[in-house]
Amino acid sequence: MNWLTDAHIHLSDGEFKPEMPFILTAMNKMRIKACCVSMDYSSSNATLHLSKQCTLVLPFLGIHPEKANDDLESIVNLIMENSNKISGIGEIGLDKTYVSDEAGFNRQISVFEQMLSLAEKLEKPISVHSRRTLEEIFSILPSYRLRGVLLHWFAGNKKQLQKAMDIGSYVSYGPAMVYSQDKQILLSQTESSKILLETDGPVKYSKCFGYKTAQITFMPSVLFRASEILGKRYDELLEIIEKNTNSYLGI
Ligand SMILES: [Zn+2]
């Protein structure tokens, strides 16, 4: 039996808390693991705590671009102290929608670069937020020797997808790919060895998902739709995704 992994989900988000015992039971029964990403110091702590409760939760610590003003030193220390317990660094990246001026964006870049240095030093994979900042990210990444790079919720154009493949990064698709033709076209043009799947819960998706909070239990639907788009059997794609996930995580 294979394991399916949600490559990017915020299980430490407060929205999931009341249902956590059910979520963990479902993960166990459905054979689904989670790359659990963090937003800031407090959610990094929550992620660590969750990973101690359940080995199916693979902890990623870091600072999201929305939280670039959080206490960087505390997060760096937390990552260093727990370097043998964490699976990766994330969610990190750049996003201009969260800043009002150039100084704010420069702060994001500085935080992102420090997270990349840490990932390089600790030889950990990274989970990257790249909304409308792929060009900036493509110019920064080559300066670092990184183990595994995931451009999560990939939303670039075909040329940027090619660039992502050229630099050896993984890209992930989630519930939006179930109904969005743009995402389905991108998926069909992605090298099969670089595809990962995710939910980015607790994000809410429209169309067939009716704006309900994304649950990790959406994963089989995401995999099913991806297998249809790629013309593969469900279990065939599951095996490919498991292999890709392991090589991304370096396990
Ligand atoms: Zn996210």
Cα(127) to ligand 1 centroid in Å equals 9
Burial 197-206 (b: 16+ CB within 10 A, else e): bbbbbbbebe
Cα(31) to centroid(ligand 1), Å: 22
- Expressed in angstroms and rounded, the spacing between residue 84 Cα and the centre of ligand 1 is 23
- 68 C-alpha to center of ligand 1: Å? 14
Measured in Å, residue 241 CA sits from the centre of ligand 1 at: 19
Q: Residue 197 above 90 pLDDT?
A: yes
Expressed in angstroms and rounded, the spacing between residue 243 Cα and the centre of ligand 1 is 22
Distance (Å) from CA 129 to ligand 1 centroid: 7
Q: In one letter, which amino acid is 247? A: S
C-alpha dist (Å) from residue 14 to 6, 42, 67, 217: 18, 11, 16, 18
Structure tokens at 199: 């939910």
Q: Domains in the chain, start-ordered, CATH in brackets?
A: 4-249 (3.20.20.140)
Q: Is the pLDDT of residue 143 over 90?
A: yes
pLDDT confidence bin for 142, thresholds 50/70/90: very high
How far apart are the CA of 116 and the centre of ligand 1, in A? 17
> What is the predicted pLDDT for the residue at 1?
85
- Per residue in 75-124, pLDDT (tens digit) is 999 999 999 999 999 999 999 999 999 999 999 999 999 999 999 999 99
Distance (angstroms) between ligand 1 centre and the Cα of 4 equals 18
The pTM of the full predicted model, rounded to 2 decimals, is 0.97
Separation of alpha carbons 58 and 87, rounded Å: 6
Coil/strand/helix, residue 71: coil
- CA–centroid distance, 234 to ligand 1, in Å, is 25
**Distance of CA 37 from the midpoint of ligand 1 (Å):** 7
Give the mean pLDDT of the chain: 97
Residue type, 218: F
User: Residue 249 and residue 169: Cα distance in Å, rounded?
Assistant: 12
Question: Which H or E run includes 173?
Answer: strand 170-173
79: amino acid identity, one letter:
I
Q: How far apart are CA 160 and CA 132, in angstroms?
A: 11
DSSP H or E stretch at residue 43? helix 41-53
